[in-house]
């Protein structure tokens, strides 16, 4: 007698109803993988932005409470003087005013990054030549120093020189003691610096004649 019951084949091909389910599972896995990749890319972008921001250092020189006379009386606010630099030859001084201290510092940092100055540094992290700067009643004298001297300066001038990346320098404040004017005078002195190669090119002479 023959057995009329159907035999089940273990290697049977899946039916058409099973194919869409498998395809949907693959699509879900691809979506999950794509989402992870997008998240990783977003995290990498955030890390790069943080690295760029970490290159810059901010130091608050002074915070003062100021007032402005308006029609209804006096409007009180805060003024912050901030120095921004990357210690690689770029530095800037900014001023910010706001109703709170945090807002004033944030505006000062943004203002400082808008007024950056490129400082030429020597191999000993000093300046190439002597320089004078003046802003208002403040006058600053900056001159190069030998390796191991350090930053011989005070007040806001020292902050500007340190954030510019200068390690060996002599500076003297002449005139006003106002921190903002002294910082801006130091910026004027640093912006007027030129290397010996640039000076020789401007004068139209050789570099050997500069040293002789």
Instruction: Quickly list H helices, the chain.
Output: 18-54, 101-114, 155-163, 179-191, 196-203, 207-211
Single out the residue of 212, 130, 142, 145 nearest to residue 173, CA to CA.
142
Quick count: other Cβ atoms within 10 Å of Cβ 155?
A: 17
> Model confidence over 130-160: pLDDT tens digits?
999 999 999 999 999 999 999 999 999 999 9
> Model confidence over 55-68: pLDDT tens digits?
899 999 999 999 99
Question: Please, which pLDDT band fits residue 204 given cuts at 50, 70 and 90?
Answer: confident
> Model confidence over 156-189: pLDDT tens digits?
999 999 999 999 999 999 999 999 999 999 999 9
- At residue 55, the pLDDT reads 84
3-state helix, strand, coil in the chain (%, to 5): 40, 30, 30
């Amino acid at each position: 007698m023959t057995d009329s019951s159907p035999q089940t084949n273990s290697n049977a091909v899946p039916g058409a109803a099973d194919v869409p389910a498998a395809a949907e599972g693959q699509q879900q896995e691809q979506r999950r993988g794509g989402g992870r990749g997008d998240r990783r890319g977003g995290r990498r972008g955030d890390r790069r932005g943080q690295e760029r921001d970490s290159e810059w250092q901010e130091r608050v020189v002074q915070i003062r409470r100021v007032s402005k006379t308006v029609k209804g009386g006096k409007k009180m606010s805060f003024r912050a003087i901030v120095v921004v630099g990357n210690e690689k030859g770029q530095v800037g001084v900014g001023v910010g005013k706001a109703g709170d201290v945090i807002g004033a510092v944030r505006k000062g940092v943004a203002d400082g990054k808008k007024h950056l100055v490129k400082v030429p540094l020597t191999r000993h992290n000093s300046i190439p030549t002597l320089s004078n700067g003046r802003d208002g009643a403040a006058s600053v004298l900056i001159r190069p120093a030998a390796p191991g001297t350090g930053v011989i300066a005070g007040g806001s001038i020292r902050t500007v020189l340190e954030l510019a990346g200068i390690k060996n320098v002599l500076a003297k404040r002449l005139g006003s003691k106002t921190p903002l004017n002294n910082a801006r005078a130091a910026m004027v002195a640093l912006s007027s610096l030129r290397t010996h190669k640039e000076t020789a090119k401007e004068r139209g002479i050789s570099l050997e004649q500069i040293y002789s």
